[in-house]
Chains A and B, each alone.
Chain A
């Protein structure tokens, strides 16, 4: 009884915090002056500009997906399956852009390729104008989005390659060389992983606000934000958010009905047989140089530009003076958000993995839908629901930001915890139940200690995502509650480049710090590594 109560309350809270705002926003968009009307949508779809925005959003998402897959799958394969030197180091470097707010990459490239950027200083104004024209628009936005989301494809490719049963490859090696085995057996086997990566990249690009806004490429999330924040036109902002919500919904339905059934695991993680390694032989130097060039362009250049621009004590002093409040708020809000994500992730992960109640599938669908929704849509939804005189105590406090984090990122915690619980046999809990312990004692005595590694991982990953968030925070932050990403974004237009660069470096540092924490968790926290079936 207590167990069901806890689990249903968790779902109810997720619905209240995450889904209700989106539904409320949709319903409100159907009424004009208190009367049911589709006027907002008519206005929206009769405008050529809106259709162009839709085209831009889909074109950017499609092109980013295509290029990240074309680059990410070979890179993931190189890092997971070959004897490429420094592959672990390269993997870590490639992941960095995913951890920092993507618009920071846009800022770095602006300092490099803008009209008065480093390239213009070296090669002259004409070249600067050319590179600036390329950067501000589709090509530049696409380039930054690819560098920001490439890690998603690399990580998923590596993960799925590790799940391929080596025996399947060994069987194929009897009939052909490694290149054929990779092309005909290994890569086809990880198609579900590639499809999942494509889906995630597509959805994240579709909802991206920071990069297109920084590089002045008009897409739907920017339109929603502009209508909402600049023109205070709530109805149009809402109507502009709905197409994104609908596209997300359609993609998720496709995933639920087609992709999910084709996702098969060939062996469990950590099984005894080791993954086969492809020897690169004479091509090793070629791949090493190619990967080094790519990592230099995608990761090293933007980071070095920011460091170079900010390299003065006065810049950092000024940055701290202007933003110390935002830095502290960022750390506090991200910590609270991450803790909430651990709680929600714990129970929802439990529901998903144990099929503990009948609503497990529905709860998972809600969490994934909210994760896939653009942050700006959730932000408008939260404003729509909570911006009333009665609920102003929530809307005007940091609670609204935390609600946004819970709504958007619960799916992360849910999936990490579900994976953690899949390593904890049901019998562990049943053994506690049969000796007479109730739900809460089983939670504190058995489930939490056995799942603590996953809980720490959820906290650190949740912390990083909350810290780097801008889509939701930008929409809902109350006065004097701005976080560091929001602060940088608002200062960008009228502050010296060295101060902005210093703020970006600070942002990167405090985002990367939890990685050290994750490393410590891996090293010291026992949990899913217990030898449950060691007999």
Chain B
């Protein structure tokens, strides 16, 4: 098991956002956290990343307790997770190459190795020709690929994605979903993906976690969740 979320809760000003959620994620799984806006799915993802500390419960990544009952044991920079943000958060003052290089420099990766890794990942996301271009000069889909490349170049154990395709049109979203699946397969990385889009969830996930009002409602495969959701809507839920 690569990620264990154990009875995690989080409140803001007495308003409970996450209510005693437990979840186990195996290595190489593609887990999609599905739920409506404001249900707590992004909060849960940010708890795994380490940007939010849970009030109660434990988060364990690759056997290490990273957060425990309100205490941050391991800071985000040392959790070996990669993340693609909803707004992508590409640094606008750096070229695409520098965006990828920034984290590697901090980790003091040797120059040759650094260049090799960056070139390889640019190839993988098919953006080699845009290496020295600034993010602001790219289209939405291209920016998406650079954000993905920046997360992957660090060779994280887990890749977190927070509704990264939400602002793209349907065709582009479909193309990028295929890209994400291809890359995840090639790199055999564990993926935790947050979305409110059922279609996106069904096409990406090996496991779907349905969250409502801060609680896990159902965990299952795409087929199981599809049936569950159709039953729920038939029941008028």
Residue ranges of A at the interface with B (Cβ–Cβ < 8 Å): 425, 427-428, 430-438, 441, 445-446, 449-450, 526, 530-535
Contacts and interface: CB of A to CB of B under 8 A. Distances in A.
Interface in B21-66: 49-51
Contacts of B106: 435-438, 441
Nearest to B153: A435
Contacts of A526: 93
A333 to B, nearest CB: 32
B89 interface: yes
27 contacts: A427-B87, A430-B76, A430-B83, A430-B89, A431-B89, A432-B103, A433-B75, A434-B77, A434-B81, A434-B151, A435-B82, A435-B102, A435-B106, A436-B103, A436-B106, A436-B154, A437-B77, A437-B103, A438-B77, A450-B91, A450-B92, A530-B93, A531-B92, A532-B87, A535-B88, A535-B140, A535-B167
What are the 6 tightest A-B residue pairs by CB atom distance, in nearest-first order?
Answer: A435-B103, A530-B92, A427-B89, A431-B89, A437-B106, A427-B85
Contacts of B49: 430, 434
Contacts of A428: 89, 91
Contacts of B102: 432, 435, 437, 445
B7 interface: no
A243 B78 CA distance: 53
B150 interface: yes
B173 interface: no
B162 to A, nearest CB: 9
A532 B154 contact: no
B185 interface: no
Contacts of B51: 430, 433
Contacts of B151: 434-435
B15 interface: no
A447 to B, nearest CB: 11
A532 B92 contact: yes
Contacts of B190: none
A425 B89 contact: yes
Contacts of B83: 430-431, 434
B107 interface: yes
B143 A433 contact: no
A85 B83 CA distance: 52
A434 B93 contact: no
A436 B107 contact: yes
Nearest to A526: B93
Interface of B: 49-51, 75-79, 81-83, 85-93, 102-103, 106-107, 136, 140, 143, 150-151, 154, 167-168
A433 B140 contact: no
Nearest to A435: B103
B75 to A, nearest CB: 8
Contacts of A535: 87-88, 140, 143, 167-168
Contact of B85 (A430, A438, A530): A430
Nearest to A428: B89
A531 B136 contact: yes
Contacts of A432: 91, 102-103
Contact of A436 (B77, B85, B88, B140): B77
Contacts of A437: 77, 102-103, 106
B92 to A, nearest CB: 4
B78 to A, nearest CB: 7
A501 B154 CA distance: 65
B103 to A, nearest CB: 3
A185 B50 CA distance: 46
Contacts of A434: 49-50, 76-77, 79, 81-83, 151
A205 to B, nearest CB: 39
B93 A425 contact: no
Contacts of B82: 434-435
B135 to A, nearest CB: 8
Contact of B87 (A438, A441, A530, A533): A533
A450 B50 CA distance: 23
A529 to B, nearest CB: 9
Nearest to B86: A427
Contacts of B93: 449-450, 526, 530
Contacts of A530: 92-93, 136
Contacts of B91: 428, 431-432, 446, 450
Contacts of A436: 77-78, 103, 106-107, 154
A57 to B, nearest CB: 42
Contact of A534 (B79, B85, B107, B136): B136
B73 to A, nearest CB: 13
A244 B77 CA distance: 49
A532 B136 CA distance: 8
Contact of A435 (B88, B143, B154, B167): B154
A72 B77 CA distance: 51
Nearest to A3: B75
B86 A433 contact: no
Contacts of A427: 85-89
A255 to B, nearest CB: 24
Nearest to A437: B106
Contacts of B81: 434
A97 B86 CA distance: 47
Contacts of B140: 535
A446 B94 CA distance: 9
B12 to A, nearest CB: 12
A435 B150 contact: yes
B71 to A, nearest CB: 13
Nearest to A529: B92
A449 B92 CA distance: 10
A411 to B, nearest CB: 27
A473 to B, nearest CB: 38
Nearest to B103: A435
A427 B83 CA distance: 10
Contacts of A450: 91-93
B150 A431 contact: yes
A491 B41 CA distance: 69
A253 B82 CA distance: 45
B136 A433 contact: no
Contacts of A425: 87, 89
Nearest to A446: B91
Contacts of B92: 450, 530-532
A288 B86 CA distance: 50
B155 to A, nearest CB: 11
A340 B91 CA distance: 27
A531 to B, nearest CB: 5
A421 to B, nearest CB: 15
A530 B83 CA distance: 22
